[in-house]
Amino acid sequence: MNHKNDKELQEISFRDFQGLIRNMYYEKDHERGATGTFLWFMEEVGELASAVRSGTKEELRGEFADVLAWLTTIANVLEIDLTQAVTEKYGSGCPGCGKYVCECPDSGKP
């Protein structure tokens, strides 16, 4: 029987995380589809919002991980490589001003 504490924790890259989530959940996620998966994602975002208001660091870590996992699940269902998407959008700096330390006015994105 595998428990979280039975294994030494290892850091995981974003690409590896997306593969891990795909391996664990893809069949269920694909059957549920992007819309159903998005609804689960939004539920997790709500739980994160509650944790931001009054959660402990441990609760926050868990909720951030859940939100990231469900976002990754949506990407898997839609066949989006998140490493590629993040690299293309943010790899050369801020998408607005192009700098690595954003100088965009506070009134606009980002």
pLDDT of 106 reads 87
CA pair distance 107, 110, nearest whole angstrom: 9
Task: Catalogue all structural domains in the chain, each as residue range(s) with its CATH number.
Answer: 11-79 (1.10.287.1080)
Peptide bond into 110 cis (omega under 30): yes
Percent of the chain having pLDDT more than 90? 85
pLDDT in tens, 43-76: 999 999 999 999 999 999 999 999 999 999 999 9
pLDDT of 2 reads 46
pLDDT of 1 reads 41
